[in-house]
């Protein structure tokens, strides 16, 4: 969801209003994706690197995140219509307690749904996620809950490394979700910015010029068509 600040500057509005416009774009895009049959949507809402911004901006963003998490939990018509389960993915211990509470409430309110899933990546980077997963697997081995035989040391074996790969995926923040099929990056940037690096190893990448608040249904359709062209067997 890149481009909220640039949209605000371009539109000559304050940056909080730019982020509010970004939330509105999220809700429209979420419903469009669900209407197209997408079952898992993951959005990059706040990177760990974003904590490097000024304290005033970070504080304002965290207040807005809390507000929108509370609002999302109240979107019962949308949530129930599509059976959305909301999950926070990331190092959530870095978030203010109020945001953590709002996130846990949204997860609790929607936790009984299983038709679709909305992952909100907050205090997230892919490197941090992979570090976390590796440390968890290490701890499993040390505790004896995961046998060392699961890691195949023969580089010539056809199954080499697969048990370890499965162990890593079990401990990713997105555990239980399928690999990413389509990754859309807005605002004209052609880079992944430390997002879902493990999960996107076979994904179709679509780089869109529109800033996130400007992202519309036609941009979504374009991205889906890019995916279909890259995966012609569908």
pTM summary value: 0.90
In the chain, CATH 3.40.1180.10 sits at 1-38+178-234, 39-124
Q: What share of the chain is helix, strand, coil (3-state, %, to 5)?
A: 55, 15, 35
Cα–Cα distances (Å) from 175 to 8, 101, 198, 229, in that order, read: 35, 21, 12, 28
Question: Over 80: is that where the pLDDT of 90 sits?
Answer: yes
Per-residue pLDDT at 155: 47
When the pLDDT of each residue in the chain is averaged and rounded to a whole number, the result is 91
- What CATH superfamily is the domain 39-124? Decaprenyl diphosphate synthase-like (3.40.1180.10)
5: CB partners within 8 A, 6+ apart: 15, 18, 19
Packed helices 217-230 and 15-35: angle between N→C axes, nearest 10 degrees: 50
Fold for 1-38+178-234, please state it: Undecaprenyl pyrophosphate synthetase (3.40.1180)
What are the pLDDT digits (tens) for 58-67?
A: 999 999 999 9
The residue that leads in pLDDT, 53 or 164, is 53
- Residues 6 or more apart whose CB falls under 8 angstroms from that of 85 comprise 107, 110, 111, 112, 113, 114, 116, 117, 118
pLDDT exceeds 70 at position 137? yes
DSSP symbols for 181-201: SEEEE-TT--S--SSSTTTTT
């Amino acid at each position: 969801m890149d481009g909220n600040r640039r949209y605000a500057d371009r539109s000559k509005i304050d940056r909080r209003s730019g982020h509010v416009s970004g939330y509105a774009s999220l809700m429209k895009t979420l419903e469009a994706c669900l209407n197209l049959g997408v079952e898992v949507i993951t959005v990059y809402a706040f990177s760990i690197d974003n904590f490097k911004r000024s304290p005033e901006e970070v504080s304002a963003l965290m207040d807005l995140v809390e507000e929108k998490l509370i609002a999302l939990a109240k979107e019962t018509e949308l949530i129930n219509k599509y059976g959305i389960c909301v999950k926070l993915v990331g190092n959530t211990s870095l978030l203010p307690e109020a945001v953590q509470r709002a996130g846990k409430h949204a997860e609790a309110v929607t936790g009984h749904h299983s038709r679709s899933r909305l992952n909100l990546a907050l205090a997230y980077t892919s490197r941090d996620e992979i570090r976390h997963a590796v440390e968890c697997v290490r701890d499993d081995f040390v505790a004896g809950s995961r046998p060392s035989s699961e890691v195949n040391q023969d580089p010539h074996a056809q199954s080499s490394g697969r048990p370890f790969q499965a162990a890593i995926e079990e401990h990713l923040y997105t555990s239980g979700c399928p690999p990413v099929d389509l990754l859309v990056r807005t605002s004209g940037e052609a880079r992944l910015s430390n997002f879902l690096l493990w999960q996107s190893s076979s994904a179709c990448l679509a780089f869109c010029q529109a800033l996130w608040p400007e992202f519309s249904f036609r941009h979504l359709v374009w991205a889906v068509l890019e995916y279909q062209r890259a995966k012609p067997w569908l």
